């Protein structure tokens, strides 16, 4: 996985966010731009952030499950995609973190 992840992709809408992240200990961390994120998905991210900030972790877990169910993918600079694991988006601070679970090149896992 030499290429950096650059985009968050929603299967029906395409690219919905852009990243500026670095990899450390298997976790990508950095900032996210949500300018092109559909309102319903952005609201899920906001609900997650609110639950974490308020330390209502059962609600955060429930919202995180709803986000995972969207099937969001990570797009890399070389055009490949990956499923995301532990995706956490904080719209208020523009922070993001995730793990790239499986790298896919031209439709085949690598």
4-8, 16-20, 77-81: the lowest-pLDDT one: 77-81
Question: Structure pTM?
Answer: 0.88
**67-73 — which CB contacts under 8 Å span 24+ positions?**
67/41, 70/10, 70/41, 70/44, 71/10, 71/11, 72/8, 72/9, 72/10, 72/16, 73/8, 73/9, 73/11
Domain ranges of the chain: 5-101
Please write the tens of the pLDDT for every residue from 26-84: 999 999 999 999 999 999 999 999 999 999 999 999 999 999 999 999 999 888 899 98
Residue 23 pairs in a beta bridge with 28
Fold of the domain built from segment(s) 5-101 = Thrombin, subunit H (2.40.10)
Tokens of 19: 């990243």
Please write the tens of the pLDDT for every residue from 95-108: 999 998 655 554 54
> Stretch 14-26: mean pLDDT, rounded?
95
> Stretch 10-29: mean pLDDT, rounded?
94
Radius of gyration for the alpha carbons in the chain, expressed in angstroms and rounded: 13
pLDDT at 110: 46
């Amino acid at each position: 996985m030499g290429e950096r992840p650059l985009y968050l992709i929603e299967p029906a809408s395409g690219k919905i966010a852009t990243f500026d992240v670095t990899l450390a200990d298997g976790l990508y961390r950095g900032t996210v731009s949500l300018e092109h994120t559909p309102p319903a998905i952005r609201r899920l991210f906001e609900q997650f952030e609110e639950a974490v900030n308020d330390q209502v972790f059962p609600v955060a877990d429930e919202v995180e499950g709803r986000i995972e169910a969207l099937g969001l993918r990570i797009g890399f600079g070389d055009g490949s995609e990956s499923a995301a694991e532990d995706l956490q988006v904080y719209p208020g601070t523009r922070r993001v973190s995730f793990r790239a679970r499986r790298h896919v090149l031209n439709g085949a896992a690598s």
